[in-house]
Structure 1
Amino acid sequence: MANYLISFPAAAMKVPAEELAAVGEAAREVIREAKAAGVYAFGGGINADVAPLMVAPDGTVTTETYPQMKEFDGGFCVLRLPSREVAILWAGKIAKACRCSQELREFGDDPES
């Protein structure tokens, strides 16, 4: 079993305002299905109202981020799945519910974490 990150940036979700409630319910239904299947680890959305912080090795805190992470927003979930093929199926379910493509990444396995 491996952990898979399934995510999308907020800008990818181009849904008319009057359809947002239906999209939200469809997404929650997939998450309920993942929970019932016992594969759901956790998920949510990046809170765009709270600025990211950079914490340096010496403990210094600044209000910045890595340049490539400036657009890190949107929604995500982590599922614990037996294979990449199964992860692709779940990403497809989430893509259909959210009406936008999903990025799929596998976490590296570290037995100490």
Structure 2
Amino acid sequence: MPKVARFHRLGGPEVLQFDESTFEDPFAGELLFKVKAIGINRMEVFFRAGGFGPPKEFPAMLGSECAGTVLAVGEGIKGFCTGDHVATIPGFTSVLGFATEMKGHECAVYGEQP
């Protein structure tokens, strides 16, 4: 079962937990990919510590940038195939939560890895 890094309360790195999660097939306009690497930057550290106020709900996830391999392609997606290498583009999405082994998200925030 895929794991996801989450925090259930505010604090330092000690509040991070690896929880099991499930993922569905991608919806139309989405990719499902296996996350191979994430970046944790100052914004995520600040968010986890409560610097932006508490998250909308707990548990909350980190990760605004990642790289991985496409597992499934949602309906209407063109230019991506299973096995393609992809990376998110920080600043082009307000979505956090890439600190996971698998992730589905709108295709518009992806580009090919160099």
Structure that is richer in helix per residue: 1
Which structure has the larger Rg? 1
Greater relative contact order (CA < 8 Å, ≥ 6 in sequence): 1
Structure that is richer in strand per residue: 2
Q: TM-score, normalised by structure 1?
A: 0.29
Q: TM-score, normalised by structure 2?
A: 0.28
